[in-house]
Amino acid sequence: MKDEGKTMQITVERTGGFTGIPVTKIIDSKTLPQQEAARLHKMMTEADFFKLPTTISSSPQPDRFQYRITVEQEAKQHSVTVDETVVPANLKPLLNWLMAQPAQPATH
Amino acid sequence: MISSQNETARTPSRPQGTHICPICCIIPPHMSDHILKHGDEKMQTWMMETIRRSEQFQGRREVIGNFALALSPGEKRRTVYDARKRETLPGKLVRSEGGRKSRDVAVNEAYDGAGATYDLYHDVFERNSIDDQGLRMDSTIHYGVQYDNAFWNGNQMVYGDGDGRLFNRFTIAIDVIGHELTHGVVQYEAGLIYQGESGALNESFADVFGSLVKQRSLNQTVDQADWLIGAGLLAPGIQGVALRSLKEPGTAYDDPMLGKDPQPAHYSSRYRGSQDSGGVHINSGIPNHAFYLAAMEVGGFAWEKVGKVWYITLRDVLRSRASFSKAADATISVAGQLYGQSSHEQTAIRKAWQTVGVIE
Ligand SMILES: [Zn+2]
Protein backbone atom coordinates (compact mmCIF):
# COMPACT_ATOMS: atom_id res chain seq x y z
CA MET A 1 0.00 0.00 0.00
CA LYS A 2 2.88 2.32 0.79
CA ASP A 3 4.16 2.24 -2.82
CA GLU A 4 0.82 3.42 -4.12
CA GLY A 5 1.58 6.92 -2.91
CA LYS A 6 4.76 7.01 -4.97
CA THR A 7 4.49 8.06 -8.57
CA MET A 8 6.18 6.16 -11.35
CA GLN A 9 7.49 7.04 -14.76
CA ILE A 10 7.48 4.13 -17.18
CA THR A 11 8.98 3.96 -20.64
CA VAL A 12 8.41 1.00 -22.94
CA GLU A 13 10.19 0.62 -26.25
CA ARG A 14 9.11 -2.13 -28.58
CA THR A 15 11.54 -2.95 -31.38
CA GLY A 16 11.74 -5.63 -34.07
CA GLY A 17 8.67 -7.31 -35.50
CA PHE A 18 7.80 -7.73 -39.17
CA THR A 19 7.44 -3.97 -39.60
CA GLY A 20 10.75 -3.21 -37.90
CA ILE A 21 9.18 0.05 -36.71
CA PRO A 22 9.95 0.92 -33.08
CA VAL A 23 7.09 2.04 -30.84
CA THR A 24 7.56 3.98 -27.60
CA LYS A 25 5.06 4.50 -24.78
CA ILE A 26 5.67 6.85 -21.88
CA ILE A 27 3.40 6.63 -18.86
CA ASP A 28 3.42 8.85 -15.79
CA SER A 29 1.31 7.37 -13.02
CA LYS A 30 0.52 10.93 -11.78
CA THR A 31 -1.59 11.51 -14.86
CA LEU A 32 -3.62 8.32 -14.48
CA PRO A 33 -7.08 8.12 -12.92
CA GLN A 34 -6.78 6.77 -9.38
CA GLN A 35 -8.23 3.40 -10.26
CA GLU A 36 -5.81 2.89 -13.17
CA ALA A 37 -2.85 3.97 -11.02
CA ALA A 38 -3.84 1.43 -8.37
CA ARG A 39 -4.12 -1.23 -11.05
CA LEU A 40 -0.68 -0.32 -12.36
CA HIS A 41 0.85 -0.60 -8.87
CA LYS A 42 -0.79 -3.98 -8.41
CA MET A 43 0.60 -5.28 -11.73
CA MET A 44 4.05 -3.92 -10.82
CA THR A 45 3.93 -5.81 -7.53
CA GLU A 46 2.69 -9.00 -9.20
CA ALA A 47 5.53 -8.79 -11.73
CA ASP A 48 7.98 -8.13 -8.89
CA PHE A 49 9.42 -5.73 -11.41
CA PHE A 50 12.40 -4.34 -9.52
CA LYS A 51 13.66 -7.89 -8.96
CA LEU A 52 13.42 -9.02 -12.60
CA PRO A 53 16.73 -9.65 -14.38
CA THR A 54 17.87 -6.85 -16.70
CA THR A 55 17.84 -9.19 -19.69
CA ILE A 56 15.44 -12.02 -20.43
CA SER A 57 16.35 -13.33 -23.84
CA SER A 58 15.93 -16.29 -26.14
CA SER A 59 17.76 -17.05 -29.38
CA PRO A 60 16.53 -14.48 -31.91
CA GLN A 61 13.57 -15.59 -34.01
CA PRO A 62 12.44 -13.91 -37.22
CA ASP A 63 10.05 -10.98 -36.88
CA ARG A 64 9.48 -11.22 -33.12
CA PHE A 65 9.31 -8.20 -30.83
CA GLN A 66 11.73 -7.16 -28.13
CA TYR A 67 10.61 -4.93 -25.26
CA ARG A 68 12.63 -2.66 -23.03
CA ILE A 69 10.73 -1.52 -19.97
CA THR A 70 12.23 1.18 -17.74
CA VAL A 71 10.60 2.18 -14.47
CA GLU A 72 11.63 5.10 -12.30
CA GLN A 73 10.14 5.40 -8.86
CA GLU A 74 11.69 8.03 -6.60
CA ALA A 75 15.32 6.95 -6.15
CA LYS A 76 14.78 3.54 -7.73
CA GLN A 77 15.30 2.84 -11.41
CA HIS A 78 15.24 -0.49 -13.21
CA SER A 79 15.29 -1.60 -16.85
CA VAL A 80 14.27 -4.96 -18.20
CA THR A 81 14.89 -6.06 -21.79
CA VAL A 82 12.74 -9.02 -22.69
CA ASP A 83 12.14 -11.02 -25.86
CA GLU A 84 8.53 -11.57 -26.83
CA THR A 85 8.88 -15.35 -26.76
CA VAL A 86 10.03 -15.47 -23.13
CA VAL A 87 7.93 -12.84 -21.35
CA PRO A 88 7.36 -14.19 -17.82
CA ALA A 89 3.70 -14.95 -17.10
CA ASN A 90 3.59 -12.53 -14.16
CA LEU A 91 4.97 -9.70 -16.33
CA LYS A 92 2.51 -10.27 -19.18
CA PRO A 93 -0.47 -8.35 -17.71
CA LEU A 94 1.74 -5.31 -17.05
CA LEU A 95 3.23 -5.46 -20.54
CA ASN A 96 -0.18 -5.82 -22.18
CA TRP A 97 -1.50 -2.88 -20.19
CA LEU A 98 1.50 -0.71 -21.09
CA MET A 99 1.26 -1.56 -24.79
CA ALA A 100 -2.45 -0.66 -24.79
CA GLN A 101 -1.58 2.93 -23.77
CA PRO A 102 -1.41 5.60 -26.50
CA ALA A 103 1.86 5.62 -28.46
CA GLN A 104 4.29 8.53 -28.57
CA PRO A 105 4.87 10.10 -31.96
CA ALA A 106 8.07 8.88 -33.61
CA THR A 107 11.14 10.82 -32.55
CA HIS A 108 13.19 10.49 -35.72
CA MET B 1 19.99 -27.24 -63.22
CA ILE B 2 17.98 -26.92 -60.07
CA SER B 3 17.99 -30.61 -59.16
CA SER B 4 21.76 -30.90 -58.91
CA GLN B 5 22.30 -29.97 -55.29
CA ASN B 6 25.76 -28.95 -54.32
CA GLU B 7 25.99 -30.68 -50.97
CA THR B 8 29.68 -30.09 -50.54
CA ALA B 9 29.13 -26.45 -49.75
CA ARG B 10 27.65 -26.97 -46.32
CA THR B 11 25.53 -29.15 -44.13
CA PRO B 12 21.95 -27.92 -44.14
CA SER B 13 20.85 -26.74 -40.73
CA ARG B 14 17.66 -28.30 -39.45
CA PRO B 15 15.38 -26.95 -36.77
CA GLN B 16 15.87 -28.21 -33.27
CA GLY B 17 14.22 -31.30 -31.92
CA THR B 18 14.24 -33.53 -34.95
CA HIS B 19 14.72 -36.75 -33.01
CA ILE B 20 12.00 -39.28 -33.68
CA CYS B 21 9.99 -40.41 -30.71
CA PRO B 22 8.95 -44.03 -31.02
CA ILE B 23 5.58 -43.55 -29.33
CA CYS B 24 4.68 -40.62 -31.60
CA CYS B 25 2.67 -42.61 -34.02
CA ILE B 26 0.61 -44.58 -31.56
CA ILE B 27 -0.95 -41.84 -29.47
CA PRO B 28 -4.71 -42.27 -29.86
CA PRO B 29 -6.38 -39.29 -31.56
CA HIS B 30 -8.66 -38.47 -28.61
CA MET B 31 -5.61 -38.08 -26.40
CA SER B 32 -3.81 -35.78 -28.83
CA ASP B 33 -7.04 -33.78 -29.20
CA HIS B 34 -7.18 -33.43 -25.45
CA ILE B 35 -3.60 -32.21 -25.29
CA LEU B 36 -4.23 -29.76 -28.11
CA LYS B 37 -7.28 -28.38 -26.32
CA HIS B 38 -6.15 -28.44 -22.71
CA GLY B 39 -2.37 -28.80 -22.56
CA ASP B 40 -0.08 -25.88 -21.91
CA GLU B 41 1.71 -24.22 -24.82
CA LYS B 42 4.80 -26.40 -24.57
CA MET B 43 2.71 -29.54 -24.52
CA GLN B 44 0.62 -28.34 -27.45
CA THR B 45 3.69 -27.51 -29.49
CA TRP B 46 5.09 -30.94 -28.78
CA MET B 47 1.81 -32.57 -29.74
CA MET B 48 1.60 -30.62 -32.99
CA GLU B 49 5.14 -31.65 -33.84
CA THR B 50 4.29 -35.23 -33.03
CA ILE B 51 1.26 -35.22 -35.27
CA ARG B 52 3.21 -33.61 -38.07
CA ARG B 53 5.97 -36.14 -37.84
CA SER B 54 3.63 -39.05 -37.80
CA GLU B 55 1.84 -37.65 -40.86
CA GLN B 56 5.11 -37.34 -42.68
CA PHE B 57 6.05 -40.82 -41.60
CA GLN B 58 2.75 -42.20 -42.82
CA GLY B 59 3.12 -40.26 -46.04
CA ARG B 60 6.46 -41.87 -46.75
CA ARG B 61 5.19 -45.30 -45.92
CA GLU B 62 2.26 -44.90 -48.23
CA VAL B 63 4.44 -43.73 -51.07
CA ILE B 64 6.57 -46.82 -50.56
CA GLY B 65 3.45 -48.95 -50.49
CA ASN B 66 2.30 -47.20 -53.69
CA PHE B 67 -1.10 -46.26 -52.38
CA ALA B 68 -2.92 -43.32 -53.81
CA LEU B 69 -3.55 -40.95 -50.93
CA ALA B 70 -5.48 -37.73 -50.82
CA LEU B 71 -2.83 -36.08 -48.68
CA SER B 72 0.52 -37.42 -49.71
CA PRO B 73 3.79 -35.50 -49.75
CA GLY B 74 4.31 -33.71 -53.02
CA GLU B 75 0.98 -31.99 -52.84
CA LYS B 76 -0.02 -28.67 -51.48
CA ARG B 77 -1.36 -29.08 -47.96
CA ARG B 78 -2.66 -26.01 -46.17
CA THR B 79 -4.49 -25.53 -42.93
CA VAL B 80 -5.73 -22.29 -41.42
CA TYR B 81 -6.47 -21.88 -37.72
CA ASP B 82 -8.21 -19.09 -35.85
CA ALA B 83 -6.62 -18.03 -32.54
CA ARG B 84 -9.74 -15.91 -31.76
CA LYS B 85 -7.65 -13.11 -30.28
CA ARG B 86 -5.81 -15.42 -27.90
CA GLU B 87 -2.13 -16.28 -28.11
CA THR B 88 -2.47 -20.03 -27.98
CA LEU B 89 -1.27 -21.84 -31.08
CA PRO B 90 -2.47 -23.17 -33.36
CA GLY B 91 -6.07 -22.27 -32.44
CA LYS B 92 -9.29 -23.63 -33.92
CA LEU B 93 -9.10 -25.29 -37.33
CA VAL B 94 -11.17 -23.22 -39.78
CA ARG B 95 -10.06 -24.34 -43.25
CA SER B 96 -8.00 -27.21 -44.59
CA GLU B 97 -6.82 -28.17 -48.08
CA GLY B 98 -9.67 -28.16 -50.56
CA GLY B 99 -12.05 -26.80 -47.93
CA ARG B 100 -14.81 -24.30 -48.64
CA LYS B 101 -14.10 -20.60 -48.79
CA SER B 102 -14.69 -18.85 -45.49
CA ARG B 103 -16.77 -15.74 -44.86
CA ASP B 104 -13.74 -14.44 -42.98
CA VAL B 105 -11.48 -12.68 -45.49
CA ALA B 106 -8.36 -13.29 -43.33
CA VAL B 107 -8.90 -17.06 -43.59
CA ASN B 108 -9.00 -16.91 -47.37
CA GLU B 109 -6.05 -14.55 -47.63
CA ALA B 110 -3.89 -16.83 -45.46
CA TYR B 111 -5.00 -19.86 -47.47
CA ASP B 112 -4.56 -18.29 -50.91
CA GLY B 113 -1.28 -16.60 -50.00
CA ALA B 114 0.19 -19.87 -48.74
CA GLY B 115 -0.99 -21.46 -51.99
CA ALA B 116 0.66 -18.81 -54.18
CA THR B 117 3.87 -19.20 -52.18
CA TYR B 118 3.79 -22.98 -52.51
CA ASP B 119 3.24 -22.58 -56.26
CA LEU B 120 6.20 -20.23 -56.75
CA TYR B 121 8.55 -22.59 -54.93
CA HIS B 122 7.08 -25.68 -56.54
CA ASP B 123 6.51 -24.59 -60.14
CA VAL B 124 9.57 -22.36 -60.56
CA PHE B 125 12.15 -23.76 -58.15
CA GLU B 126 10.94 -27.39 -58.01
CA ARG B 127 10.75 -27.20 -54.25
CA ASN B 128 8.14 -29.23 -52.40
CA SER B 129 6.93 -26.88 -49.67
CA ILE B 130 8.91 -25.20 -46.89
CA ASP B 131 11.14 -28.17 -46.05
CA ASP B 132 11.20 -29.59 -49.62
CA GLN B 133 9.51 -32.66 -48.18
CA GLY B 134 5.91 -31.59 -48.47
CA LEU B 135 5.55 -30.04 -45.02
CA ARG B 136 1.97 -28.99 -44.31
CA MET B 137 1.65 -25.21 -44.34
CA ASP B 138 -0.10 -24.12 -41.18
CA SER B 139 -1.29 -20.57 -40.60
CA THR B 140 -2.97 -19.01 -37.59
CA ILE B 141 -4.98 -15.80 -38.03
CA HIS B 142 -6.52 -13.42 -35.46
CA TYR B 143 -3.56 -13.97 -33.14
CA GLY B 144 -3.64 -11.77 -30.03
CA VAL B 145 -5.44 -8.48 -29.50
CA GLN B 146 -4.66 -5.72 -32.02
CA TYR B 147 -1.41 -7.52 -32.67
CA ASP B 148 0.78 -5.50 -35.06
CA ASN B 149 2.83 -8.38 -36.37
CA ALA B 150 3.22 -11.52 -38.42
CA PHE B 151 5.85 -14.17 -37.82
CA TRP B 152 7.07 -17.68 -38.56
CA ASN B 153 7.56 -19.48 -35.24
CA GLY B 154 9.70 -22.33 -36.56
CA ASN B 155 6.67 -24.45 -37.42
CA GLN B 156 3.92 -22.22 -38.74
CA MET B 157 2.84 -18.73 -39.86
CA VAL B 158 1.09 -16.45 -37.40
CA TYR B 159 -0.83 -13.27 -38.31
CA GLY B 160 -2.16 -10.47 -36.14
CA ASP B 161 -5.18 -8.28 -36.92
CA GLY B 162 -3.24 -5.04 -36.54
CA ASP B 163 -4.42 -2.24 -34.27
CA GLY B 164 -6.44 -0.51 -37.00
CA ARG B 165 -4.84 2.88 -36.28
CA LEU B 166 -1.34 2.18 -37.61
CA PHE B 167 -1.72 -1.19 -39.31
CA ASN B 168 -4.43 -3.26 -40.95
CA ARG B 169 -4.58 -7.05 -40.76
CA PHE B 170 -1.28 -8.67 -41.75
CA THR B 171 -2.76 -11.11 -44.28
CA ILE B 172 -3.82 -8.15 -46.44
CA ALA B 173 -0.57 -8.20 -48.44
CA ILE B 174 0.36 -11.45 -50.21
CA ASP B 175 4.06 -10.57 -50.03
CA VAL B 176 3.83 -10.63 -46.21
CA ILE B 177 2.67 -14.24 -46.48
CA GLY B 178 5.45 -15.09 -48.93
CA HIS B 179 7.88 -13.36 -46.57
CA GLU B 180 6.86 -15.42 -43.53
CA LEU B 181 6.92 -18.72 -45.42
CA THR B 182 10.34 -17.88 -46.78
CA HIS B 183 11.65 -17.56 -43.21
CA GLY B 184 10.70 -21.24 -43.02
CA VAL B 185 12.62 -22.01 -46.20
CA VAL B 186 15.66 -20.12 -44.88
CA GLN B 187 15.46 -22.12 -41.65
CA TYR B 188 15.61 -25.41 -43.60
CA GLU B 189 18.31 -24.20 -45.98
CA ALA B 190 21.06 -21.65 -45.23
CA GLY B 191 19.79 -21.25 -41.64
CA LEU B 192 20.94 -17.63 -41.64
CA ILE B 193 21.45 -16.53 -38.04
CA TYR B 194 19.01 -13.75 -37.16
CA GLN B 195 21.55 -11.14 -36.12
CA GLY B 196 23.63 -8.56 -37.96
CA GLU B 197 24.38 -9.11 -41.66
CA SER B 198 23.31 -12.76 -41.77
CA GLY B 199 20.05 -11.65 -40.12
CA ALA B 200 19.59 -8.86 -42.67
CA LEU B 201 20.17 -11.43 -45.43
CA ASN B 202 17.53 -13.64 -43.81
CA GLU B 203 15.14 -10.66 -43.92
CA SER B 204 16.14 -9.80 -47.47
CA PHE B 205 15.53 -13.31 -48.84
CA ALA B 206 12.11 -13.17 -47.14
CA ASP B 207 11.33 -9.81 -48.81
CA VAL B 208 12.69 -10.84 -52.21
CA PHE B 209 10.70 -14.09 -52.40
CA GLY B 210 7.70 -12.36 -50.81
CA SER B 211 7.77 -9.83 -53.64
CA LEU B 212 8.25 -12.61 -56.22
CA VAL B 213 5.15 -14.39 -54.86
CA LYS B 214 3.18 -11.20 -55.48
CA GLN B 215 4.71 -10.55 -58.91
CA ARG B 216 4.04 -14.09 -60.10
CA SER B 217 0.50 -14.15 -58.74
CA LEU B 218 -0.17 -10.98 -60.78
CA ASN B 219 1.91 -12.19 -63.75
CA GLN B 220 4.00 -9.00 -63.62
CA THR B 221 7.27 -8.28 -65.38
CA VAL B 222 9.98 -6.32 -63.58
CA ASP B 223 8.61 -3.05 -65.03
CA GLN B 224 5.05 -3.73 -63.91
CA ALA B 225 5.88 -4.81 -60.34
CA ASP B 226 5.53 -2.35 -57.45
CA TRP B 227 8.52 -3.88 -55.59
CA LEU B 228 6.83 -3.02 -52.28
CA ILE B 229 6.54 -5.06 -49.10
CA GLY B 230 3.29 -4.57 -47.22
CA ALA B 231 1.30 -2.47 -49.68
CA GLY B 232 -2.16 -2.01 -48.13
CA LEU B 233 -0.90 -2.76 -44.63
CA LEU B 234 -0.72 0.86 -43.43
CA ALA B 235 -4.00 2.02 -41.88
CA PRO B 236 -6.00 4.85 -43.48
CA GLY B 237 -4.42 8.23 -42.71
CA ILE B 238 -0.89 6.89 -42.28
CA GLN B 239 1.47 8.63 -44.67
CA GLY B 240 3.15 5.96 -46.75
CA VAL B 241 2.59 3.31 -49.38
CA ALA B 242 4.05 0.23 -47.68
CA LEU B 243 6.67 -0.92 -45.15
CA ARG B 244 9.61 -1.37 -47.45
CA SER B 245 10.55 -0.70 -51.05
CA LEU B 246 13.07 -2.83 -52.92
CA LYS B 247 13.07 -0.25 -55.67
CA GLU B 248 13.77 2.77 -53.46
CA PRO B 249 14.72 1.72 -49.93
CA GLY B 250 13.96 4.49 -47.44
CA THR B 251 10.89 5.86 -49.25
CA ALA B 252 8.05 3.54 -48.21
CA TYR B 253 6.63 5.78 -45.46
CA ASP B 254 7.20 9.07 -43.69
CA ASP B 255 4.65 9.64 -40.98
CA PRO B 256 4.42 11.50 -37.64
CA MET B 257 3.52 8.29 -35.77
CA LEU B 258 5.72 5.79 -37.63
CA GLY B 259 8.66 8.04 -38.39
CA LYS B 260 10.49 7.70 -41.68
CA ASP B 261 11.41 4.49 -43.47
CA PRO B 262 15.02 4.00 -42.25
CA GLN B 263 16.22 1.59 -44.95
CA PRO B 264 19.52 2.42 -46.66
CA ALA B 265 20.13 1.52 -50.31
CA HIS B 266 23.91 1.67 -49.95
CA TYR B 267 26.31 -0.24 -47.72
CA SER B 268 28.05 2.93 -46.53
CA SER B 269 24.77 4.08 -44.88
CA ARG B 270 24.15 0.81 -43.06
CA TYR B 271 22.76 0.84 -39.53
CA ARG B 272 25.36 -0.15 -36.94
CA GLY B 273 23.27 -0.05 -33.76
CA SER B 274 21.94 -2.94 -31.70
CA GLN B 275 18.17 -2.48 -32.07
CA ASP B 276 16.16 -4.95 -34.13
CA SER B 277 18.84 -7.66 -33.82
CA GLY B 278 21.36 -5.28 -35.34
CA GLY B 279 18.97 -3.66 -37.81
CA VAL B 280 17.88 -6.79 -39.68
CA HIS B 281 14.77 -4.99 -41.01
CA ILE B 282 16.84 -1.89 -41.83
CA ASN B 283 19.94 -3.23 -43.55
CA SER B 284 17.90 -5.73 -45.57
CA GLY B 285 17.33 -2.71 -47.83
CA ILE B 286 20.85 -3.12 -49.21
CA PRO B 287 20.59 -6.70 -50.57
CA ASN B 288 16.93 -5.99 -51.45
CA HIS B 289 18.02 -3.18 -53.71
CA ALA B 290 20.79 -5.30 -55.24
CA PHE B 291 18.17 -7.86 -56.22
CA TYR B 292 15.96 -5.15 -57.69
CA LEU B 293 18.80 -3.63 -59.75
CA ALA B 294 19.89 -7.00 -61.13
CA ALA B 295 16.31 -8.00 -61.96
CA MET B 296 15.67 -4.70 -63.77
CA GLU B 297 18.85 -5.10 -65.79
CA VAL B 298 17.96 -8.65 -66.84
CA GLY B 299 14.28 -7.82 -67.46
CA GLY B 300 11.27 -10.09 -67.99
CA PHE B 301 9.86 -12.02 -65.05
CA ALA B 302 12.13 -11.54 -62.03
CA TRP B 303 11.60 -15.08 -60.72
CA GLU B 304 12.88 -16.72 -63.90
CA LYS B 305 16.54 -15.74 -63.85
CA VAL B 306 17.74 -13.55 -60.97
CA GLY B 307 15.14 -15.19 -58.70
CA LYS B 308 16.56 -18.59 -59.61
CA VAL B 309 20.11 -17.41 -58.84
CA TRP B 310 18.98 -16.14 -55.41
CA TYR B 311 17.16 -19.41 -54.72
CA ILE B 312 20.10 -21.68 -55.62
CA THR B 313 22.38 -19.44 -53.56
CA LEU B 314 20.10 -19.79 -50.54
CA ARG B 315 19.65 -23.52 -50.99
CA ASP B 316 23.15 -24.66 -51.89
CA VAL B 317 25.80 -22.12 -51.06
CA LEU B 318 25.21 -19.80 -48.13
CA ARG B 319 26.19 -20.76 -44.61
CA SER B 320 24.46 -19.61 -41.45
CA ARG B 321 26.87 -16.75 -40.68
CA ALA B 322 27.10 -15.38 -44.24
CA SER B 323 27.93 -11.70 -44.69
CA PHE B 324 26.69 -9.40 -47.47
CA SER B 325 29.94 -9.79 -49.39
CA LYS B 326 29.73 -13.59 -49.13
CA ALA B 327 26.20 -13.41 -50.49
CA ALA B 328 27.37 -11.17 -53.33
CA ASP B 329 30.19 -13.55 -54.28
CA ALA B 330 27.85 -16.53 -54.02
CA THR B 331 25.20 -15.06 -56.34
CA ILE B 332 27.86 -14.08 -58.89
CA SER B 333 29.30 -17.59 -58.78
CA VAL B 334 25.87 -19.26 -59.09
CA ALA B 335 24.98 -16.95 -62.00
CA GLY B 336 28.20 -18.07 -63.70
CA GLN B 337 27.23 -21.73 -63.26
CA LEU B 338 23.67 -21.23 -64.46
CA TYR B 339 24.17 -18.74 -67.30
CA GLY B 340 27.90 -18.76 -68.02
CA GLN B 341 30.88 -16.65 -66.97
CA SER B 342 30.53 -13.04 -68.13
CA SER B 343 26.94 -13.75 -69.18
CA HIS B 344 24.53 -10.83 -69.19
CA GLU B 345 22.91 -12.23 -66.03
CA GLN B 346 26.20 -12.57 -64.16
CA THR B 347 27.35 -9.11 -65.19
CA ALA B 348 24.02 -7.59 -64.09
CA ILE B 349 24.29 -9.22 -60.68
CA ARG B 350 27.90 -8.16 -60.16
CA LYS B 351 27.07 -4.60 -61.17
CA ALA B 352 24.09 -4.53 -58.80
CA TRP B 353 26.20 -5.50 -55.77
CA GLN B 354 28.77 -2.89 -56.79
CA THR B 355 26.09 -0.20 -57.05
CA VAL B 356 24.89 -0.86 -53.48
CA GLY B 357 28.49 -0.76 -52.28
CA VAL B 358 28.84 -4.34 -51.05
CA ILE B 359 31.68 -5.25 -53.44
CA GLU B 360 34.15 -3.15 -55.40
ZN1 LIG C 1 10.90 -11.24 -41.49
Per-domain residue ranges of chain A: 8-100
The single-letter code of the amino acid at B226 is D
**Does B282 share its domain with B319?**
yes
What pLDDT score was predicted for residue A107?
66
- pLDDT of B269-307, one tens digit each? 999 999 999 999 999 999 999 999 999 999 999 999 999
**Does B159 share its domain with B223?**
no
DSSP 8-state assignment for residue B101: P
Looking at the partner chain, which of A18, A21, A63 has a beta carbon nearest the beta carbon of B259? Answer: A21
Highest mean pLDDT among A23-37, B5-19, B52-66: A23-37
**Does B227 share its domain with B139?**
no
The 10 Å Cβ neighbour count of residue B195 is: 16
Cβ under 8 Å to B: A residues 5-64: 15-23, 59-64
Q: A61 vs chain B: nearest CA distance in angstroms? A: 7
Asked if B152 lies within 8 A of A62 by C-beta distance, the reply is: yes
**Does B32 share its domain with B178?**
yes
**Does B179 share its domain with B221?**
no
Looking at the partner chain, which of A20, A23, A105 has a beta carbon nearest the beta carbon of B282? Answer: A20
Q: A29 vs chain B: nearest CA distance in angstroms? A: 23
How many structural domains is chain B composed of?
2
Contact by Cβ (8 Å): B117, B178:
yes
Asked if B179 lies within 8 A of A22 by C-beta distance, the reply is: no
Burial class (CB in 10 A: 0-12, 13-18, 19+), B20: exposed
Confidence band, pLDDT 50/70/90 cuts, at residue A5:
low
The nearest alpha carbon in chain B to A85 belongs to B153
Cα separation of B152 and A79, whole Å? Answer: 28
**Does B223 share its domain with B170?**
no
Confidence band, pLDDT 50/70/90 cuts, at residue B54:
very low
- Using the mean position of ligand 1's atoms as its centre, give its distance from the Cα of residue A62 in Å: 5
pLDDT greater than 50 at residue B340: yes
Q: What is the CATH number of the domain that holds B40?
A: 3.10.170.10
Please indicate, yes or no, if residue B18 is contained in any of the structural domains: no
Please indicate, yes or no, if residue B346 is contained in any of the structural domains: yes
Asked if A60 lies within 8 A of B259 by C-beta distance, the reply is: no
**Does B239 share its domain with B332?**
yes
Q: What is the CATH number of the domain that holds B270?
A: 1.10.390.10
**Does B168 share its domain with B237?**
no
pLDDT greater than 50 at residue B50: no
The single-letter code of the amino acid at B129 is S
**Does B292 share its domain with B155?**
no
Cα separation of B55 and B345, whole Å? Answer: 42
Cα separation of B116 and B174, whole Å? Answer: 8
Cα separation of B177 and B173, whole Å? Answer: 7
Domain boundary among B156, B188, B220: B188
Domain that holds residue B219: 196-355
pTM, whole model, 2 decimals?
0.84
**Does B329 share its domain with B210?**
yes
- pLDDT of B137-191, one tens digit each? 999 999 999 999 999 999 999 999 999 999 999 999 999 999 999 999 999 999 9
Global ipTM: 0.91
What pLDDT score was predicted for residue A104?
79
Cα separation of B359 and B328, whole Å? Answer: 7
Domain boundary among B188, B209, B233: B188
Looking at the partner chain, which of A60, A64, A107 has a beta carbon nearest the beta carbon of B195? Answer: A60
- Using the mean position of ligand 1's atoms as its centre, give its distance from the Cα of residue B154 in Å: 12
The 10 Å Cβ neighbour count of residue B56 is: 16
pLDDT greater than 80 at residue B53: no
Which residues of B are catalytic, by number? 180, 281
**Does B110 share its domain with B241?**
no
Cα separation of B301 and B219, whole Å? Answer: 8
The single-letter code of the amino acid at B203 is E
Domain boundary among B129, B154, B188: B188
**Does B181 share its domain with B251?**
no
Contact by Cβ (8 Å): B27, B39:
no
